Chain A
């Protein structure tokens, strides 16, 4: 692309090329359509200009033509829709084996936390060729995490987690922009996504002190008193969280939900919203008592409990469902 007047940014993710291909297809179809209309109007306007003695010819219309030029364009639009929906589906379905990185947006900076504990401000280092999933929330107003080179963006909303996944294809430094107006320094809330080769990345990772996020979460779990109810040895007042993450949960009101990031976050901030079946609504709320970073750490910790093998009778409970006091099978 001409450096003087580029038409699109660098392509640095697996999805970028697909998005560009779809874009070029739409540009071509639109250009053809536009040209057709411009030419038709110009030709007709000149050919049928008023000439003395030549009367206009009244035409009612033509239902066949109307149907034709409704159905055919709609058919073409359907190709846009399907191709676009396929790409969107891929963008919204992170692969299961993704490295997770937590992002907390605040006016006016991006705070990034890797699972291993590294923290960054306004910069995100990622390895090339690996699936990375960002788990994002905002501390204040709505922001939006936008990486033009990846052709991706996702709003970052306070009060919930949104995710954005990608696989970078080309080492380099790429723009990171905030794309949802958020006040004074909205246009200053910019940074870089630094894509590195695997060796450079592990070198970068090992530099600097850090407590892995799940470890920080474990410390909070104990210091905030979660462990007194959510025990792993005997059945406590709260569900046993061993192996609970990612599994379906039967709730008091009969619904079944999946214990994902948002569920864990909600259960900490609004415990009475989705109470597990068989348990009483006695958990106090931690709204206002934990920061977003601490929430991220706690969620990361609960997630890590899914991977640890647990020994003994607890295993039965863990394997069947999250936190049923009796070993009942869940539907």
Chain B
């Protein structure tokens, strides 16, 4: 255990080597997680900068801030960065990489060097994307539908190659997790004793390795068509534009489950820790993750209901899309039920968890609107869809990630973050988020289409509200950057288990030594064995 008073501090993974080489050539999953944290955060703020440009432009009905072509590039970059360079990797590559070996009592992942390779692929893809941006960017939208993407004179191939590399980063991470979880669990750690964070990452990894190759080949085909004028997707050359959409969505729909399952895993950890009791319905929550991953592969064409596809196929996809909503609902109910007769505290991670439950519920319910054929015809391709997916991805995944970062920050850094500032940021994020995106549901039903640079004046009021919310949200995101950095130097030193939480990661020092555990743990208890752990005293005495 690290303590400021002891003169000879034992080394932990952070102090085990201070050279740049020891970081850039590390195979320690914890250091790789930090490398990812830094690079992903940079991309998040880049994507956020583009979001700010979008919201500023949309303050007025006219296109008066940017040229139309620039605006099109801005929303394309925003989408590509946020999807491929932020949302897909953030939880698995940061928290997953850090915690999966710790949670299962292992020294590292199954393939540490492939883990490092994954990071370099991510960075390579990221640099290529930056280069593409500096060379004029891409204007296809993140969904790069054909034939627009085969015809545009912007540099799609470079962006596509960047996404291809990031995709392989994703595949190798998923491969690593699956093998690790299968083969490297500590003695006694059976599948039914695994933390739900592990189950969630296992399910996510299944989707990563099965789905990502399909978008890889889709990008190759678009590139080949652009380079050699082969008619695969362009009807003028004999191709079929809808084939592209099927291939694209076959990955991109499961991808959205990559972008939510990990945070659902975080949720199970936070709710149990801060109610200080085991999860309600462990088996159901674990199997729901797998069900979401599997069913997620069967619903892709619900993005294509107005393309002129077969009426009967549309009905099948609509039905399946409702089915895939059931496991998510089960999770929400189980988390809520876990609160019952718990002993609840309101530290920042728990506030983010509450926020997640609320916002994910709204996002998930609005997904049902889109699965409903008669409504989808009206609201697809409008701001209704934009609002829906931001509720899930930002209100869900990002809130979960922030909650997880706060929860595991003492373990990762050995310091506590300032609770007051953290609670304020959580509140700003929640308020800012809702103000940004709720008006967009209304805008969508009113008929404002997506990707519009200018719009009829009657849509202005709601757009102004949305931009106002975005400015509050931005502050909520910037504050943690400041206080997390501050805490590295001035934050109180953290104990091994500052939350009195269950889980193997809390049984080792904060920060952990390079090889995680002094001795391999032997597990004889069920997951979330909170009945065997004392709840922490309240931080301040209760006033009576």
Contact = CB atoms under 8 A, between A and B. Distances in A.
A212 B35 CA distance: 68
B503 to A, nearest CB: 16
Contacts of B358: 34, 37-38, 41
A184 interface: yes
Interface of A: 4-9, 18-19, 22-23, 26, 30, 33-34, 37-38, 40-41, 44-45, 48-52, 54-62, 65-66, 69-70, 73-74, 77-78, 80-81, 83-89, 91-93, 140-142, 144, 146, 148-149, 151-155, 157-160, 162-163, 175, 177-188, 190, 270, 288
B329 A30 contact: no
Nearest to B444: A148
Contact of B538 (A19, A50, A74, A270): A50
B340 A44 contact: yes
A69 B538 contact: no
B329 A44 contact: no
A20 B43 CA distance: 40
Contacts of B378: 19, 23, 148, 151-153
Contacts of B147: 140-142, 158
A60 B375 contact: no
B377 A151 contact: yes
Contact of B372 (A26, A152, A185, A187): A26
Given A142-B241, A179-B382, A187-B63, A54 B343 contact: yes
A251 B136 CA distance: 50
Interface in B206-257: 235-236, 238, 240-242
Contacts of B236: 158-159, 288
B311 to A, nearest CB: 5
B452 interface: yes
A84 B341 CA distance: 40
Nearest to B276: A56
Given A44-B336, A88-B377, 8 more contacts: A51-B343, A52-B537, A70-B330, A85-B318, A141-B148, A153-B380, A162-B307, A180-B381
B366 interface: yes
Interface in B359-400: 361-362, 365-366, 368-369, 371-378, 380-382
Nearest to B373: A88
A278 to B, nearest CB: 27
A186 B369 CA distance: 26
Contacts of A51: 343, 542
Contacts of B371: 80-81, 84
Contacts of B68: 184-185, 187-188
B423 to A, nearest CB: 14
A185 to B, nearest CB: 6
Given A22-B374, A56-B535, A180-B145, A88 B343 contact: no
Contacts of A78: 322
Most chain A beta carbons < 10 A, residue from B305, B308, B344, B346: B308
B530 A58 contact: yes
Given A37-B361, A59-B341, A77 B446 contact: no
Interface of B: 63, 68-69, 72, 139, 141, 145, 147-148, 151-152, 235-236, 238, 240-242, 275-278, 280-284, 305-308, 311, 314-315, 318-319, 322-323, 325-326, 329-330, 332-334, 336-337, 339-346, 354, 357-358, 361-362, 365-366, 368-369, 371-378, 380-382, 442, 445-447, 449-456, 458, 461-462, 530-531, 535, 537-538, 542
A144 B381 contact: yes
17 contacts: A4-B461, A5-B461, A7-B446, A23-B369, A41-B358, A52-B538, A55-B343, A56-B276, A66-B333, A69-B330, A77-B322, A91-B377, A153-B377, A153-B381, A157-B242, A175-B456, A181-B451
Given A77-B322, A142-B147, A175 B241 contact: no
Contacts of B235: 157-160
A30 B284 contact: no
A26 B343 contact: no
Most chain A beta carbons < 10 A, residue from B357, B371, B452, B455: B452
A56 B329 contact: no
Contacts of A185: 68
A23 B354 contact: no
Contacts of A157: 235, 241-242, 307-308
B277 A73 contact: no
A49 B373 contact: no
B454 A188 contact: yes
B449 A84 contact: no
Most chain B beta carbons < 10 A, residue from A18, A23, A74, A81: A81
Given A59-B341, A154-B308, A175-B447, A30 B366 contact: yes
A183 B280 CA distance: 50
B305 to A, nearest CB: 8
Given A37-B361, A74-B326, A81-B371, A59 B340 contact: yes
A62 B277 CA distance: 15
Contact of B148 (A34, A55, A177, A182): A182
Query: Would you list the 5 A-B pairs with minimal beta carbon distance, nearest first?
Result: A159-B235, A148-B447, A87-B374, A84-B372, A88-B373
B330 A56 contact: no
Contacts of B319: 81
B528 to A, nearest CB: 9
B306 A187 contact: no
Contacts of A152: 377-378
Contacts of B332: 37
A153 B308 CA distance: 10
A48 B345 CA distance: 9
Nearest to A7: B442
A146 B449 contact: yes
A51 B535 CA distance: 10
A72 to B, nearest CB: 10
Contacts of B369: 23, 26, 30
B148 A181 contact: yes
Nearest to A6: B446
A26 B452 contact: no
B277 A57 contact: yes
A41 B446 CA distance: 32
Contacts of A288: 236
A69 B322 contact: no
Contacts of B141: 181
Contacts of A180: 145, 381
A84 B446 CA distance: 19
Contact of A59 (B277, B326, B454, B535): B277
A114 B314 CA distance: 30
Contacts of A86: 374
A4 B340 CA distance: 43
Given A81-B372, A186-B451, A140 B151 contact: yes
Contacts of B311: 88-89, 92-93
B322 A146 contact: no
Most chain B beta carbons < 10 A, residue from A88, A160, A163: A88
B308 A155 contact: yes
A218 to B, nearest CB: 27
Contacts of A162: 307-308
A41 B284 contact: no
B197 to A, nearest CB: 18
Contacts of B148: 141-142, 181-183
Nearest to B285: A61
A48 B342 contact: yes
A183 B344 contact: no
Contacts of B334: 61, 66
Contacts of A74: 322-323, 326
A44 B339 contact: yes
B365 A84 contact: no
Contacts of A146: 381, 447, 449
B427 to A, nearest CB: 15
